[in-house]
Every structure is written in structure tokens, then in C-alpha cells.
């Protein structure tokens, strides 16, 4: 069932809360196959996106809640990353709490001490906002379940977690379930919504079941241009209309390939999407370039392996220089021999 914004508002009042609550949640990162690039309104996507959910690259979060004597207007919290206080992260989290307060008013009754940890190295260039906000959103939905026993089913709570995560970071909406998630309303894909991501209504074809994503860290460190700034540049992008059209077509085609197991077309489309994303950055005003010489070198090696050894391997890119290498598990040895061992970059081997 499709849910509306009002369906996510918690309307319970006058509940007596426990003095102390401990919460924990874990959420994975995800890699978009069809990219979310451009947004409007309250974190609504310009076009639908389709992603693989990763497994190893995750954020694990715990929170110790203490009941306040008087409920506060804003959420009172402290944030720790790897056990160290990180006030520099607090404005973004405070903004998230502000946006979700109306859907989860009970969060203001407590002081939150939040401890977060990523399983991937800090400053590896892997975006942590998707897994971080998904973990926080899952925790808040768990709290709602504990405080307000209701008849609502698991499906509702998953959608609510995705809805809340979206308000923290768009791509976080897709880090709520696995192995494939679709975020954004598409007339040709059932049950899709701009408000939250959903798992498709079909089984992922076995060809993709043991798929791997090895992330080649061409460039570590903070992003030079934030994704939020990149999304905003789409509002007046000269290719906005054509990109929308392309992404709607690609989202539909991608779901068809994931269902039918059409690996050749999956490869073609996945790479086309990655290149479209970076072409949009290179043609915005102002324009910018995130790929590095190393990115192109890895891309050329991957294409060479496909042509000469017929290996079903392809690449995709996030908003950065790192290359995600996607391939079935059964060609891992070949890739180790002909690709990974030839590179000096650090590599994070993950799977979907
Ligand atoms: C994606 N990216 O679909 C695209 C492709 C990066 C490249 O969504 O402003 O951190 O927090 O909603 O989700 C990265 O942007 O941006 C992103 P906000 P987000 O994964």
C-alpha cells in the first residue's frame, strides 16, 4: 500500500516515558545503479533511483536516552564518532532532528547520547551519510515501536524508517532494506514513491545473487564539492529535462534487467549511468570535475578485461573519484589476478 506524508505523523499524546532507554541500530551503505541527482522541496528526488545495498560497509550506532524533566522544543543530544565527541557533525544531525520532529515528536522528551562507528575507514572517500542517517532513522522507528505498541506491520515501519532517513540524506532512504531498493515515484514501477524507498516486487535474478562491489579508493578524503551542492545545481541545469527523461527510462530498464538477469544490458546501463552523472557535473554552472586520472585508468582496465577476456565486470561511480567494480563472485580470482593486484590503491571488498 502506498503511504502519504500524513501516514508518518505520530499522533499519540500524553504517554509516560521510561527514564532511560538504550537503543542500537546498524545500517549498510548502498551504491546507486541509476543515480539520484537533483532534488526539490523537502528532499524529494528529481528522478527515481535504483541501488544495490552493500553488506560490509556499515554504520553501527547506539544511543543512551535519558528522560528530560521538561520536554524540550529541540532535540538535546551529543554526538560521538569512534568514541570521540564530534560537535562538528552536530549541526547536520540537529537539522535532521528538526525535520523529523513532526513525524516523531517523542524524540524531544529525551536527551540523546549518540555513539556512531563506521566499519569502513574514515576519510576513505566512501559517503557515510547514507548508512549514518539510515541507522539513526532505524533507531528512531525502533523507539516508536517500543513506546507505542500498535497494529502497524513491519512493512509500515520499514517505510517510515526510509521516509525519516530520506530527510537526513536522500540516498539514506535506500539503505533500509536489501538487496535492491528503488526510491522515487515511477509510473511503470509499482508502489514507488518520492517519500520513501521500496524493495521491488520481484526476486532479484540469481545472476546477481553473489554479486560483489570492490571499491577502489583512487582518492581518499573529504569530497571537494558536496553532493547537496551538486543536487542543487540540477535545478537550472541545461540538460535537466533530458536527464529526467533518461533517468526514468533507465530506472525502468534497470529493474527489467535485474529481474531477467540480462547481464550484458545491466553492464551497459550501469556504466552509462555513472558517466551521465559525471557528465552532469561537468556541464553544470559552475562546472566541476571529480574523476581523477586514476579513475580513468581503472575504467580503461575494466573495459579492456571485458573485451579481451570476456569477463562480466563493470564499473560505477559515486560523487567522487573512487571506482566501484561490480562483478559476479565466480570471477573474483580473475579480477584479483588481472585487475586488483595490478593497482596500488587501497580496495574495500564488499558484496550486495
Ligand atoms: C546516489 N549520490 O544516487 C547519488 C549518486 C551520489 C551520486 O545521492 O543532499 O548524500 O544528502 O540528499 O544523498 C549523494 O547525495 O545527498 C547521492 P543529500 P546525498 O547515491
pLDDT at 220: 86
Q: Is the pLDDT of residue 271 over 90?
A: yes
pLDDT score of 16: 87
Which pLDDT belongs to residue 110? 97
How sure is the predictor about 126, in pLDDT bands with cuts at 50, 70 and 90? confident
Across 208-252, where does the E strand assignment appear? Answer: 211-217
Predicted pLDDT of residue 221: 77
pLDDT tens per residue, range 329-351:
999 999 999 999 999 999 999 99
- The total number of residues shown for the chain amounts to 352
pLDDT of residue 199: 98
Q: How high is the pLDDT of residue 127?
A: 73
- The CATH 3.30.230.10 portion of the chain extends over 5-198
Q: Which residue among 132, 174, 227, 321 is best mutated to probe the pocket of ligand 1, counting the most ligand atoms within 8 A of its Cβ? A: 227
Q: How far apart are CA 147 and CA 322, in angstroms?
A: 42
- Please indicate whether residue 1 or residue 279 has the higher confidence score (pLDDT): 279
- Ligand 1 atom nearest to 49, measured from its CA: 3
- What is the position in ligand 1's atom list of the atom closest to the CA of 166? 12
- Find the 341 Cα to ligand 1 centroid distance in Å: 30
Return the best residue to mutate from 229, 231, 272, 322 for the ligand 1 pocket (most ligand atoms within 8 A of CB): 231
User: What are the start and end residues of each CATH 3.30.70.890 domain in the chain?
Assistant: 206-351
What pLDDT sits at residue 10? 85
336: how many CB neighbours lie within 10 A of its CB?
14
What residues pair up with 278 in beta bridges, in sequence order?
A: none
The reported pLDDT for the residue numbered 308 is 98
* CATH number 3.10.20.80 given to 206-351: no
pLDDT at 151 over 90: no
pLDDT per residue as tens digits for the range 196-238: 999 999 999 999 999 999 999 999 877 778 999 999 999 999 9
Instruction: State yes or no: pLDDT of 15 exceeds 90.
Output: no
Q: Is 169's C-beta closer than 6 angstroms to any atom of ligand 1?
A: yes
pLDDT band at 86 (very low <50, low <70, confident <90, very high): very high
- pLDDT for res 224: 77
Residue nearest to atom 11 of ligand 1 (CA): 169
Binned at pLDDT 50, 70 and 90, residue 291 comes out as very high
Where is average pLDDT lowest: 34-43, 221-230, 268-277? 221-230
CA distances from 187 to 48, 218, 251, 347 (A): 10, 38, 11, 38
Is 30 close to ligand 1, i.e. is its CB under 6 Å away? no
| Among 300, 189, 243, CA closest to 35 | 243
Mean pLDDT for the chain?
96
In DSSP notation, 282-334 reads: HTSSS------HHHHHHHHHHHHHHHHH----EEEE-SSS-EEEEEEGGGHHH
CATH architecture of 5-198: 2-Layer Sandwich (3.30)
Residue 249 pLDDT grade (very low, low, confident, very high; cuts 50, 70, 90): very high
Amino acid at each position: 500500500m502506498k503511504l502519504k506524508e500524513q501516514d508518518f505523523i505520530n499522533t499519540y499524546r500524553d504517554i509516560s516515558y521510561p527514564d532511560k532507554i538504550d537503543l542500537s541500530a546498524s545500517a549498510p551503505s548502498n551504491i546507486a545503479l541509476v543515480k539520484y541527482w537533483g532534488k526539490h522541496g523537502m528532499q524529494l528526488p528529481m528522478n527515481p533511483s535504483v541501488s544495490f545495498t552493500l553488506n560490509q560497509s556499515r554504520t553501527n550506532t547506539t544511543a543512551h536516552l535519558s528522560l528530560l524533566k521538561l520536554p524540550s522544543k529541540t532535540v538535546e543530544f551529543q554526538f560521538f564518532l569512534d568514541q570521540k565527541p564530534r560537535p562538528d557533525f552536530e549541526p547536520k544531525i540537529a537539522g535532521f532532528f528538526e525535520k523529523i520532529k513532526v513525524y516523531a515528536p517523542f524524540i524531544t522528551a529525551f536527551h540523546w547520547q549518540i555513539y556512531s562507528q563506521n566499519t569502513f575507514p574514515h576519510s576513505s572517500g566512501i559517503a557515510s551519510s547514507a548508512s549514518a542517517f539510515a541507522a539513526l532513522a532505524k533507531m528512531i522507528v525502533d523507539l516508536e515501536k517500543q513506546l507505542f505498541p500498535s497494529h502497524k506491520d513491519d512493512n509500515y515501519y520499514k517505510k517510515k524508517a526510509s521516509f525519516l532517513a530520506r530527510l537526513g540524506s536522500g540516498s539514506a532512504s535506500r539503505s533500509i532494506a536489501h538487496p535492491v531498493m528503488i526510491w522515487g515515484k515511477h509510473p511503470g514501477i509499482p508502489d514507488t514513491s518520492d517519500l520513501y524507498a521500496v524493495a521491488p516486487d520481484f526476486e532479484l535474478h540469481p545472476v546477481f545473487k553473489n554479486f560483489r562491489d570492490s571499491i577502489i579508493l583512487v582518492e581518499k578524503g573529504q569530497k571537494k564539492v558536496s553532493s547537496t551542492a551538486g543536487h542543487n545545481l540540477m535545478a537550472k541545469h541545461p540538460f535537466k529535462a533530458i536527464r529526467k527523461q533518461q533517468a526514468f527510462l533507465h530506472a525502468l530498464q534497470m529493474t527489467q534487467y535485474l529481474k531477467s538477469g540480462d547481464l550484458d544490458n545491466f553492464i551497459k546501463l550501469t556504466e552509462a549511468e555513472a558517466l551521465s552523472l559525471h557528465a552532469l557535473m561537468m556541464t553544470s554552472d559552475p562546472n566541476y570535475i571529480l574523476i581523477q586520472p586514476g579513475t580513468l585508468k581503472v575504467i580503461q582496465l575494466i573495459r579492456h578485461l571485458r573485451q579481451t577476456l570476456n569477463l562480466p565486470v563493470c564499473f560505477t561511480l559515486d560523487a567522487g573519484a573512487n571506482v566501484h567494480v561490480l562483478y559476479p563472485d565466480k570471477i573474483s580470482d580473475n579480477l584479483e589476478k588481472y585487475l586488483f593486484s595490478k593497482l596500488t590503491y587501497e580496495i574495500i571488498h564488499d558484496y550486495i
